[in-house]
Each structure stands twice: as structure tokens, then as C-alpha cells.
Amino acid sequence: MRTKFAWFGSPAALIVAVVLFSTLAQAQDTRTITDALGRESVIPAQVDRVICSGSGCLRLLTYLQAHDRIVAVDSIEVHGSPIDARPYAIANPQFKTYPIFGEFRGQDSPELIAGLDPQPQVIFKTYAARDGDPEQLQTKTGIPVIALEYGNLTYGRKKLNTSLELIGEVMGVQERAATVIDFFDGLEADLLARTEDVPEDQRPSTYIGGLGQRGPHGFQSTEPSFAPFAFTRSNNVAASLSTPEQRASHATVSKEQIVIWDPKIIFIDAATMRLDAGVNALDQLRTDPAYQALSAVHAGRIYGLFPYNSYTQNFESVFANAYYVGKVLYQDRFADVDPMAKAEEIAIFLNGGPAFEEMNSQFQGLAFGRIDIR
């Protein structure tokens, strides 16, 4: 028997009741999110389909184990590069099989996004202030755009943590976001604890050369805030180029200044080997008479590190490098650490699979070893 519904009010009141009921139902299926730029967006209560726009955006989603919810990728995920230094991509080759929604570094195509089937419910976007207006993209696509600040592991840690928490909230993986943040904190605490009581006069001066920054560079490219040095309390000769008032994540220093600094131990970013012969950091060390006079060159104290700036910072590579730096500088304090095994452990936790052995094969085994330039 069907129950009949009787309405004793006016037709106008019935319309108002229906509208209120519909609005309430819709409100229960949506929520409002405030992004890194202070923008408010209404998104579904449950988000099952997304795309990630901008440098490093898909990396963060992968860390949070929500990368299976993407419906498309930007061009770098499909085409990659001749030498790929992105552990998250190496561990997840399936990214190459997705449709493309735009060019890398946030150069999105609203037309391609509109043609996606299924449609994303949310677009995450890193470096939104630099690589495209999120409000304009949202207007053109009709899809909520959540802006993220990428941050880093040193002075930008708060921004990084906030972005991880924001992705976690949107995707409903808050527990994993908290676990990743704790994982980063634990690695840093372990590194600092191993080196906290090293006397100042036993901390050799260090320099990172050939540092990649939006592409490969020669020996004069360095980083004043180089996290592997900060985490091991190393004496970074370039540290003075960054101040609390003006943080410097990259610097190109003069040859003369490097000679004046005369670092006792030199590390080389393997990304420099993507440059032609004669202009990469190793060839410069081998052929330039000024560099030949450096103490580290004379003593053979030159070591290779993995690139960590590849489609912005790869945080697993930062920590992997830090453990290798610690092993080189303070062998007794890192006697229990196999740097390559530790690197793969970090990669597996963050990306679901190993990456560093494969990556090192692309750089002819340059990383995590002493480099003979004589």
C-alpha cells in the first residue's frame, strides 16, 4: 500500500519547502575548503577524481597514497626526460599511460580538461601565483581549483606541512598526511641527533656544486640552505649567502669566491652530467687551473649526490643525500647506515616502490660514491 503525502499549505509554500530541502541535501554532499591563497572553494564531500597541476603537485599526492584517483597528468609525466631524477615517477610508471591535460609547470589546457572523461572533481595546483591564475582556471573549467604552496624541508617546512594537510583533508586521507609529516620529522631528528655533539673544529667545510635548478648547471651553482648540510650540521661554506631576512634557495657564486672558501669536502649534484662535456661540474674541476688548486681536489675528497631539484624538490632525495653526507663526514656516527638501502627505504615508504638504484644507473653510478677527477 502506498502512503499518500498530503500538503495543506499554499503552492508557494510547497515550492519554498522543496527548494530548502534540495539546498540542504546539496549542502550535505559538499564542503568548503580554504586553500593556500585564502580562496574558498566548494568541493564534493567525497573526492574520487582529481588532476594535479604544477611542479611537484602529483608528487605530494603520491606521498599521501591518493595518486590512484587521478584521471589525467601533465606532459612531463608522459614524456619524462632523457634522464629522470623523480623517484615518485620511477616508482609509478603507470603515470605514463594517462591522458594529458596540459603542459608541465602548470601550463594547463582548459580545453583538454573539459574533454576528460571522467571529469576531475578537483584540480590541485602548486606554484599557482607563478604558473597560472587558479581563479581563471576554475572559471574556465567549472572545476574547483585548490592552490598549494610547495614549501621545502628547511625554512619552508610549515608551508609543506600545510599543503600535505590540505591535500589530506580534501582527499580524506588525513591520517596518512600526519604520518608523512611525522616521517619527515623523524628523519630530521635522527640526522640531527647523530651529529649534535660533533665539536665545531671537527666539522669539515663543505660545498655542493653543479646544483640543478630548473635545469642542470655547472660547478658555480650551489645552495646556501642545502638541507643535507643543515640536517647533518655541516659547515656549508655558502651558508652566509642566506639570512633569516632573505632566504636563498639557490646561488651562483664566482670562481674566485669558491677558491677563497676552499672547501675541504666537495659534493657534486649528478644533474650536472646532463650538460655537455666541458661545461659540466666534473669537467670544470678537471680542466680549470683555479679549481685544481682546491684542497678537496688535491685530497680526492669529491663525492656524488642524487639530484633533488627535478620538477621542484624531491624530498626523498633530500633525505637520502643527507644520510650519505653524514656517512662521508662522520663515518662512525653513521656506521649502521647503508645509504643506498636507506634511500630505497625512504622511496618505498613515500612512493610505494624503489627508485634510487634505477636512477643511479642513469647517472653512470655517479651518486653515493667518491669521484676521481684526476
SS3 letters across the chain: CCCCCCCCCCHHHHHHHHHHHHHHHHHHCEEEEECCCCCEEEEECCCCCEEEECCCHHHHHHHCCCHHHECCEEHHHHHCCCCCCCHHHHCCHHHHHCCEEEECCCEECHHHHHCCCCCCCEEEEECCCCCCCHHHHHHHHCCCEEEECCCCCCCCHHHHHHHHHHHHHHHCCHHHHHHHHHHHHHHHHHHHHHHCCCCHHHCCEEEEECCCCCCCCCCCEECCCCHHHHHCCCEECCHHHCCCCCCCCCEECCHHHHHHHCCCEEEEEHHHHHCCCCCCHHHHHHHCHHHHCCHHHHHCCEEEECCCECCCECHHHHHHHHHHHHHHHCHHHHCCCCHHHHHHHHHHHHHCCCCHHHHHHHCCCCCCCECCCC
3 pLDDT more than 50: no
Residue 19 pLDDT level (bands cut at 50, 70, 90): very low
Q: CA 148 → CA 36, 88, 119, 142, 352, distances in Å?
A: 5, 19, 21, 19, 23
Tally of CA atoms within 13 A in the half-sphere of 101 that contains its CB? 28
User: What is the pLDDT, as a whole number, of residue 343?
Assistant: 98
**Above pLDDT 70, what percent of the chain?**
90
Please list, in sequence order, all residues whose beta carbon lies within 8 angstroms of the beta carbon of residue 176, skipping any fewer than 6 positions away: 64, 65, 66, 168
pLDDT of residue 274: 82
Average pLDDT over residues 290-310: 94
Whether residue 22 has pLDDT greater than 50: no
Closest CA to 344 of 319, 366, 369, 374: 319
Task: Please tell me the predicted confidence (pLDDT) of residue 341.
Answer: 98
Q: Count Cβ atoms below 10 Å from residue 366 Cβ, excluding itself.
A: 20
With beta carbons less than 8 A apart as the criterion, state whether 363 and 273 touch. Answer: yes
Nearest to 95 by CA among 106, 84, 109: 84
Stretch 325-349: mean pLDDT: 97
Closest residue by Cα to residue 264 from 205, 224, 304: 205
Is residue 113 within 8 Å of residue 102, measured between CB atoms?
yes
Is the Cβ–Cβ distance between 255 and 288 less than 8 Å?
yes
Q: What is the pLDDT of residues 75-130, one digit of tens each?
A: 999 998 777 899 999 999 999 999 999 998 889 999 999 999 999 999 999 998 78
Q: Please tell me the distance from the alpha carbon of residue 48 to that of residue 51, in angstroms, as a whole number.
A: 10
Q: Is 184 exposed, middle or buried (0-12, 13-18, 19+ CB in 10 A)?
A: buried
Take residue 208 and report the three cell numbers written for it. 655542493
pLDDT for 82 equals 72
pLDDT at 2: 42
Which band of pLDDT confidence, cut at 50, 70 and 90, is reported for residue 217?
Answer: confident
Contact 261, 352 (CB under 8 A): no
